[in-house]
């Protein structure tokens, strides 16, 4: 007389291992997305901070129109070291660059060019942490003073 087979009950060890593997892959994917979002968030924060600091520099330049028209703010090439002069323009630029380096990115460099009262302030920072970003990001703001 043939014996009756029981229907299987519960889950097998292979099913448990497959479930754990799928869960692990999903959690690793979620962690990668979170890490990428954190890097891009830092990059966006630095860009916003640079924009705020540049606006502050342009305001300082508006308060010294003689310095702007006299070329005291002009730094046509990239400048990474704060000027050491004692004029209002030198202290404004030194303060601007020191603030960028301390609050935004230690690699910050800047340039300022003015044609009459049409000025461009540029900032260059290391943005290698941002996903898909190059090692150098240049942010320029142009304004008529």
Number of domains the chain contains:
1
pLDDT at residue 9 in the model: 73
In-domain check, residue 117: yes
Rounded to 5 degrees, φ, ψ at 42 are: -65, -40
Residue 5 vs residue 14, higher pLDDT: 14
Task: Inform me whether the pLDDT recorded for 134 exceeds 70.
Answer: no
By residue range, what is the domain housing residue 58?
46-144
pLDDT at residue 132 in the model: 62
In-domain check, residue 33: no
In-domain check, residue 13: no
pTM for this prediction: 0.75
Task: Inform me whether the pLDDT recorded for 70 exceeds 70.
Answer: yes
Rounded to 5 degrees, φ, ψ at 30 are: -65, -40
Element spanning 122, H or E: strand 118-126
In-domain check, residue 70: yes
In-domain check, residue 67: yes
Query: Please, which pLDDT band fits residue 27 given cuts at 50, 70 and 90?
Result: very high
- Tell me the C-alpha distance between 127 and 119, whole Å: 25
In-domain check, residue 2: no
């Amino acid at each position: 007389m043939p014996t009756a087979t029981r229907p299987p009950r519960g889950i097998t060890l292979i099913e448990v291992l497959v479930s754990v593997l799928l869960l692990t892959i999903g959690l690793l994917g979620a962690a990668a997305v979170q890490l990428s979002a954190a890097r891009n968030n830092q990059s966006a924060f630095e860009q916003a901070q640079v924009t705020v600091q540049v606006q502050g520099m342009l305001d300082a330049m508006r308060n010294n129109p003689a310095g702007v028209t006299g070329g005291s703010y002009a730094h046509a090439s990239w400048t990474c070291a704060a000027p050491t002069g004692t004029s209002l323009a030198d202290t404004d630029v030194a303060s601007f660059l020191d603030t960028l380096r301390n609050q935004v990115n230690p690699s910050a460099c800047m340039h300022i060019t003015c044609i009459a009262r049409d000025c461009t302030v540029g900032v260059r920072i290391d943005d290698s942490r941002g996903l898909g970003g190059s090692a150098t990001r240049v942010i320029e703001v142009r304004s008529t003073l």
